[in-house]
Each structure stands twice: as C-alpha cells, then as structure tokens.
Amino acid sequence: MNNFHPDIYQKSIYSIDYNKLKERGIKCLLFDLDNTCIPYKEKGPTDKLKKLFFKLEEKNFKVIIFSNSPRKRLEVFKKELNVDCCAKAGKPRKKNFLKIIKLYDYDLSEIAIIGDQIVTDIYGGNRVGITTILINPISNIDMPFTKIYRYIEKKKIAKMTKQGIFKVGNYYD
Ligand SMILES: [Mg+2]
C-alpha cells in the first residue's frame, strides 16, 4: 500500500459526504486546522465553519482539531467551536495519533483524519491505519516550515499521477 495515497479525496471540508462516512463506521473526525478549516493567516473560525461543526455534532461525530500549530493559536477555535484540540500534534509522527486513539478509545476503523497535506496529514494517518481524507488547501500561503513538505508532496503527487492512482481535481470517495 502507498502511504501517501488518501482513501478519500474531496475539494474541501464542505464537499465531504459525512453521511457516507457514518455508513462506513466513522465516529471520530480529526481535523487539520491550517488551510483545511481556515486559511493559515486567519485568527478565528468563520460562520461557515461554525455551522459545519454544529452539523457534525448533531450527527454525533466526535470532532477533534489535530494541528501542528501551538496551543495558543488553537484556543479561540476550541472555545468558539466547542471542540477538543490537540496542538503541536507533530504530524506525520505516529506518537500523538496513537495517543488520541488510546485516549478516546476508538477503533482504528472508526477514526478519520481530514487534511490538506499529503506528507503530514495523509502519510501520518495511513501509517497508523486510520481513514485518510485529503482536501485541496484553502490558500497557497503556508507556514514557513510547510514549504519543504509541499516540495516533497509535489514529487509524491507526480509519482501517483504517473501510476494512475491520483490526480489533482479528480475527486473520489
Ligand atoms: Mg494544513
């Protein structure tokens, strides 16, 4: 199996079919923050994001923001979205993925990670064996250290496109 290949690929967090995820047995959603939920430069949640998270709560999903950003940045999201947060997640390292899985006591088949980066979100999620969902980044402005990941990502995407298993803009679930 290719650890860089997402199980699901959608345009944005708003085009994911969450009912279908429910049918697959997913109960817990780990959301990357920057360029997945909001642009990296944004300081707080948008109304659209609030509505989505409210809807997910209604559908009985456990929603956790799982971000490599520092705790301070996540505070306002935790408060306004009323969700649990894991800061400094250290993606793609397995350590905090495994910690969350143990802490919340979910089966691997019940958890999905949703993120915009193949090298951190998708690779990290595939390594621990949870469902991985890639979306297109909201903006092309990244945190400084993300640039190196984007460079590797470009190469991985080119390889997968050549293999016929992934193409930017060809969505699937
Ligand atoms: Mg991101």
Q: Ligand 1 mean position to 170 CA, how many Å? A: 20
Question: What's the CA dihedral at 103, 30, 85, 73 to 10 degrees?
Answer: 150
Under the banding of pLDDT at 50, 70 and 90, the label for residue 145 is: confident
pTM, to two decimals: 0.96
Q: Is the pLDDT of residue 141 over 90?
A: no
Question: pLDDT (tens digit, 9 = 90+) per residue, 57-113?
Answer: 999 999 999 999 999 999 999 999 999 999 999 999 999 999 999 999 999 999 999
Q: Is the pLDDT of residue 152 over 80?
A: yes
Instruction: Give the number of domains in the chain.
Output: 1
Q: Ligand 1 mean position to 21 CA, how many Å? A: 21
Q: Ligand 1 mean position to 115 CA, how many Å? A: 6
Q: What is the pLDDT of residue 143?
A: 78
Question: pLDDT (tens digit, 9 = 90+) per residue, 5-33?
Answer: 999 999 999 999 999 999 999 999 999 99
| Containing structural domain, residue 87 | 8-162
Q: Ligand 1 mean position to 139 CA, how many Å? A: 10
Which whole number is the average pLDDT over 135-158?
Answer: 90
Q: Ligand 1 mean position to 144 CA, how many Å? A: 12
Which whole number is the average pLDDT over 49-64?
Answer: 97
Q: Ligand 1 mean position to 92 CA, how many Å? A: 12
Q: Ligand 1 mean position to 37 CA, how many Å? A: 8
Q: Ligand 1 mean position to 31 CA, how many Å? A: 9
Q: Indicate whether 43 belongs to any domain.
A: yes
Q: What angle do CA 140, 123, 1 make, to 5 degrees?
A: 130
Q: Indicate whether 168 belongs to any domain.
A: no
Q: Indicate whether 172 belongs to any domain.
A: no
Domain at 47, CATH number: 3.40.50.1000
Q: What is the pLDDT of residue 102?
A: 93
Q: Indicate whether 105 belongs to any domain.
A: yes
